[in-house]
Amino acid sequence: MALATYSELQTTIASYLNRDDLTSIIPTFITLTENRLNRELRVRANMVRAQTTTTSGTAFYDLPSDMIELRNITYDSNSRSFALSYLSPESATREYGSIVSGQPKAYTNLGNNVKLTPTPDAAYGISINYFAKLRSLSDSVTTNDVLTEYPSLYLFGACLEGAIYLNDTEQTNRFGSVFEKAVSDVKRAEDAARYSGTVMTTSIQGDPGALVRRGAN
C-alpha cells in the first residue's frame, strides 16, 4: 500500500487494524505518534540552522519555538563558523564575569532562552543548530520528510496507539514490538549517516522565531 500522504496513511492504518469505524479517531493516533517520535527520535531531516544577527548590549535571546533539542550555537564570520562553548550559568559567571561585553565566546541555555557570553558589543552573525519538532501531518500538510523516508514509523506507531485505544492486548504487544524495531532501525541508519558525514540541514534566514532579542542583559 502507498504511504506517501496523510490520506494514504490513514487508509493503511485502518487496514492494518482491520477496522472501518475509526475514521474520526485515526488522526489522533497519528498525532500521538508524532508526540512519541518527538520524544524518542532525532533525524537529519529535522536538523535546522536558524541564522540571525545579535544586537549590541543584548545578551538574552529566545530559542526557536519548534526546537526539541539544541545541538550547538556558532558565531559566523565570513565563510567560517566557530562553535560557541556551552557553559553552565555558574561557569559562565566564573569565566566571563569580569568581561562586560565583546564577541560572544560561549552560551548558557536557560529554559526557553539562551544567554550569550560576553554580552555582544556589536552585530555578530549567529546560527543556532537544533532538532526541530516534526512538521505535523494534517489535511493541509499532507506529508513531511519523516513520512517520506521512514513511513513505517508513522504506520506502526499509529497502529500501536490504535491497539491501545481498542484495549487489544495482543495487538498492542504486536505493534509495540514492530514499532520499537522500526525506531531502532531508523536510529542505526541515522547514526551511520551522521558518522559517514552525510548531514541534512534546513537553513532559515532572518528571524524564524529563533534567537529573538530579549532586551539588555
Q: Where are the domains positioned within the chain?
A: 6-43+136-195, 44-132+200-213
Residues with Cβ < 8 Å from 192, sequence gap 6 or more? none
Q: Could you tell me the three cell numbers for 177?
A: 514490538
User: How confident is the model over 161-194, as pLDDT tens digits?
Assistant: 999 999 999 999 999 999 999 999 999 998 888 7
3-state secondary structure at position 165: helix
pLDDT at 72 over 90: yes
More confident residue, 215 or 24: 24
Do the beta carbons of residue 211 and residue 52 sit within 8 Å?
A: yes
pLDDT at 212 over 70: no
Q: List C-alpha distances in Å: 160 to 5, 30, 73, 168, 176.
A: 19, 10, 37, 10, 6
Describe the strand order of the beta sheet including 80-83 as a list of residue ranges. 80-83, 67-77, 125-132, 47-53, 202-204
Cα–Cα distance, 147 to 135 (Å, whole number): 10
Q: Could you tell me the three cell numbers for 74?
A: 556558532
Cα–Cα distance, 93 to 117 (Å, whole number): 9
pTM, rounded to two decimals: 0.82
Q: Side chain identity at 22, as an amino acid letter?
A: L
pLDDT at 98 over 90: no
- Kindly state the average pLDDT of the residues 148-161: 97
pLDDT at 215: 45
Do the beta carbons of residue 129 and residue 86 sit within 8 Å?
A: no
User: How confident is the model over 104-136, as pLDDT tens digits?
Assistant: 999 998 888 999 999 999 999 999 999 999 999
Counting Cβ atoms within 10 Å, is residue 133 exposed (0-12), middle (13-18) or buried (19+)?
middle
Of 64-78, 84-98, 102-116, 194-208, which gets the smallest average pLDDT? Answer: 194-208
Please choose, from the candidates 16, 19, 34, the residue with its C-alpha nearest in 3D space to the C-alpha of residue 154.
Answer: 34
Q: What percent of the chain has pLDDT over 70?
A: 89
User: How confident is the model over 36-46, as pLDDT tens digits?
Assistant: 999 999 999 89
